[in-house]
Amino acid sequence: MKNHVWRPLYVALGIVAMILVARELYVPKDFGIHERGYMYGWHRKSDETYWKNFKVKYKTSEYCKGCHEDKYADIKGSPHGNIMCENCHGPALGHPADPPTLTIDRSRELCVRCHSYLPYKTSGRGKIRGINPETHYPEAECVMCHYPHNPKREAKK
Protein backbone atom coordinates (compact mmCIF):
# COMPACT_ATOMS: atom_id res chain seq x y z
CA MET A 1 0.00 0.00 0.00
CA LYS A 2 0.99 3.54 -0.61
CA ASN A 3 2.00 6.10 2.06
CA HIS A 4 -1.25 8.01 1.66
CA VAL A 5 -3.08 5.00 3.16
CA TRP A 6 -0.63 4.21 5.98
CA ARG A 7 -0.16 7.73 7.31
CA PRO A 8 -3.84 8.34 8.24
CA LEU A 9 -3.98 4.83 9.70
CA TYR A 10 -0.97 5.59 11.92
CA VAL A 11 -2.54 8.89 12.98
CA ALA A 12 -5.82 7.13 13.89
CA LEU A 13 -3.95 4.40 15.83
CA GLY A 14 -1.92 7.11 17.60
CA ILE A 15 -5.10 8.93 18.67
CA VAL A 16 -6.64 5.70 19.97
CA ALA A 17 -3.42 4.92 21.89
CA MET A 18 -3.39 8.44 23.43
CA ILE A 19 -7.03 8.04 24.54
CA LEU A 20 -6.25 4.68 26.17
CA VAL A 21 -3.18 6.09 27.95
CA ALA A 22 -5.16 9.14 29.16
CA ARG A 23 -7.94 6.85 30.40
CA GLU A 24 -5.43 4.75 32.31
CA LEU A 25 -3.89 7.85 33.91
CA TYR A 26 -7.04 9.82 34.76
CA VAL A 27 -9.83 7.31 35.47
CA PRO A 28 -9.68 6.08 39.09
CA LYS A 29 -9.07 2.35 39.58
CA ASP A 30 -12.36 1.79 41.43
CA PHE A 31 -14.50 3.60 38.88
CA GLY A 32 -17.15 1.29 37.48
CA ILE A 33 -16.23 -1.82 39.49
CA HIS A 34 -19.12 -2.73 41.79
CA GLU A 35 -21.01 -5.75 43.09
CA ARG A 36 -22.70 -6.31 39.74
CA GLY A 37 -19.44 -6.50 37.84
CA TYR A 38 -17.63 -3.99 35.70
CA MET A 39 -20.04 -1.25 34.70
CA TYR A 40 -20.01 2.51 34.71
CA GLY A 41 -22.11 4.17 37.40
CA TRP A 42 -22.68 7.62 38.83
CA HIS A 43 -20.09 7.35 41.56
CA ARG A 44 -16.92 5.66 42.66
CA LYS A 45 -17.21 2.82 45.12
CA SER A 46 -14.63 4.43 47.44
CA ASP A 47 -16.81 7.57 47.69
CA GLU A 48 -19.77 5.78 49.30
CA THR A 49 -18.48 6.23 52.85
CA TYR A 50 -17.79 9.91 52.19
CA TRP A 51 -21.37 10.51 51.06
CA LYS A 52 -22.84 8.44 53.90
CA ASN A 53 -21.04 10.73 56.38
CA PHE A 54 -21.80 13.94 54.46
CA LYS A 55 -23.90 16.31 56.56
CA VAL A 56 -27.02 17.38 54.67
CA LYS A 57 -27.42 21.16 54.57
CA TYR A 58 -30.99 21.32 53.36
CA LYS A 59 -34.04 19.97 55.14
CA THR A 60 -37.61 19.98 53.87
CA SER A 61 -40.53 22.21 54.78
CA GLU A 62 -41.65 19.40 57.10
CA TYR A 63 -38.57 20.11 59.23
CA CYS A 64 -39.69 23.73 59.68
CA LYS A 65 -43.30 22.79 60.41
CA GLY A 66 -42.65 21.74 64.02
CA CYS A 67 -41.67 25.22 65.21
CA HIS A 68 -43.28 27.42 62.56
CA GLU A 69 -46.77 25.93 62.20
CA ASP A 70 -48.40 29.29 61.40
CA LYS A 71 -45.99 30.09 58.57
CA TYR A 72 -46.18 26.50 57.30
CA ALA A 73 -49.99 26.63 57.17
CA ASP A 74 -49.89 30.01 55.40
CA ILE A 75 -47.45 28.91 52.71
CA LYS A 76 -48.99 25.47 52.08
CA GLY A 77 -52.31 27.09 51.21
CA SER A 78 -50.75 29.64 48.87
CA PRO A 79 -49.25 29.81 45.37
CA HIS A 80 -45.85 29.45 47.07
CA GLY A 81 -46.94 26.10 48.57
CA ASN A 82 -44.59 23.98 46.46
CA ILE A 83 -41.51 26.08 47.32
CA MET A 84 -39.30 24.76 50.12
CA CYS A 85 -38.61 27.19 52.96
CA GLU A 86 -34.86 27.04 52.29
CA ASN A 87 -35.24 28.39 48.76
CA CYS A 88 -35.75 31.78 50.37
CA HIS A 89 -34.26 31.35 53.86
CA GLY A 90 -31.12 29.37 53.04
CA PRO A 91 -29.99 25.98 54.37
CA ALA A 92 -31.34 24.86 57.76
CA LEU A 93 -28.08 23.15 58.72
CA GLY A 94 -27.47 24.00 62.38
CA HIS A 95 -30.95 25.46 62.94
CA PRO A 96 -32.55 25.74 65.54
CA ALA A 97 -29.37 25.36 67.64
CA ASP A 98 -27.81 28.21 65.68
CA PRO A 99 -30.69 30.53 64.57
CA PRO A 100 -28.47 33.04 62.72
CA THR A 101 -27.80 30.35 60.10
CA LEU A 102 -31.17 31.20 58.51
CA THR A 103 -31.65 34.59 56.95
CA ILE A 104 -34.76 36.67 56.62
CA ASP A 105 -34.06 38.35 53.32
CA ARG A 106 -36.54 41.12 52.53
CA SER A 107 -34.71 42.36 49.45
CA ARG A 108 -36.38 42.85 46.10
CA GLU A 109 -33.70 40.68 44.50
CA LEU A 110 -34.99 37.61 46.33
CA CYS A 111 -38.49 38.01 44.88
CA VAL A 112 -37.34 39.19 41.46
CA ARG A 113 -35.28 36.06 40.84
CA CYS A 114 -38.60 34.24 40.27
CA HIS A 115 -41.02 37.09 39.60
CA SER A 116 -39.16 39.10 37.00
CA TYR A 117 -41.25 39.02 33.83
CA LEU A 118 -40.11 36.47 31.25
CA PRO A 119 -41.73 36.28 27.81
CA TYR A 120 -41.49 32.45 27.64
CA LYS A 121 -45.12 31.41 28.09
CA THR A 122 -44.51 27.75 27.23
CA SER A 123 -41.99 27.16 30.03
CA GLY A 124 -42.94 26.50 33.65
CA ARG A 125 -40.96 29.58 34.68
CA GLY A 126 -42.84 31.71 32.16
CA LYS A 127 -46.17 30.90 33.81
CA ILE A 128 -45.19 32.63 37.07
CA ARG A 129 -46.69 36.11 37.40
CA GLY A 130 -43.92 38.50 36.56
CA ILE A 131 -43.22 42.18 37.09
CA ASN A 132 -40.85 44.67 35.59
CA PRO A 133 -38.66 45.46 38.62
CA GLU A 134 -37.63 48.81 37.11
CA THR A 135 -41.21 50.13 36.94
CA HIS A 136 -43.07 48.18 39.64
CA TYR A 137 -42.39 50.36 42.71
CA PRO A 138 -38.59 50.17 42.36
CA GLU A 139 -37.97 52.09 45.60
CA ALA A 140 -40.00 49.70 47.81
CA GLU A 141 -39.32 46.28 49.21
CA CYS A 142 -41.85 43.67 48.07
CA VAL A 143 -42.81 42.77 51.66
CA MET A 144 -44.22 46.28 52.16
CA CYS A 145 -47.21 45.28 50.00
CA HIS A 146 -46.98 41.47 49.68
CA TYR A 147 -46.94 38.82 52.40
CA PRO A 148 -44.36 36.31 51.07
CA HIS A 149 -45.79 33.23 52.81
CA ASN A 150 -49.14 33.82 51.12
CA PRO A 151 -48.98 36.44 48.34
CA LYS A 152 -52.77 36.45 47.97
CA ARG A 153 -53.00 37.89 51.47
CA GLU A 154 -52.19 41.51 52.19
CA ALA A 155 -48.93 42.29 53.98
CA LYS A 156 -49.13 42.72 57.73
CA LYS A 157 -48.96 46.39 58.63
| Residue 157 reports pLDDT greater than 60 | no
Task: For residues 118-133, give the mean pLDDT.
Answer: 76
Task: For residues 15-43, give the mean pLDDT.
Answer: 79
| Residue 60 reports pLDDT greater than 60 | yes
The better pLDDT of the pair 116, 10 is held by: 10
What average pLDDT does the chain have?
A: 82
pLDDT digits (tens, 9 = 90+) for 144-156: 888 888 877 766 6
Alpha-carbon distance values, 34 to 30, 37, 40, 42 (Å): 8, 5, 9, 11
What was the pLDDT predicted at 12?
Answer: 95
**What's the predicted TM-score (pTM) here?**
0.59
**Is residue 116 very low, low, confident or very high in pLDDT (cuts 50, 70, 90)?**
confident
Contact 41, 119 (CB under 8 A): no
In angstroms, the CA 108 to CA 116 distance is 10
Burial of 111 (0-12, 13-18, 19+ CB in 10 A): buried
In angstroms, the CA 83 to CA 115 distance is 13
Contact 47, 40 (CB under 8 A): no
**Is residue 36 very low, low, confident or very high in pLDDT (cuts 50, 70, 90)?**
low
Task: For residues 58-85, give the mean pLDDT.
Answer: 88
**Among candidate residues 88, 86, 33, the one with its CA nearest the CA of residue 63:** 86
Q: What percent of the chain has pLDDT over 70?
A: 87
In angstroms, the CA 82 to CA 36 distance is 38
Q: Where are the domains of the chain?
A: 3-48, 61-144
What was the pLDDT predicted at 82?
Answer: 86
Q: State the amino acid at position 92 in one-letter form.
A: A
Would residue 98 be called left, alpha or beta, if left means φ above 0 and alpha means ψ between -120 and 50 degrees? Answer: beta
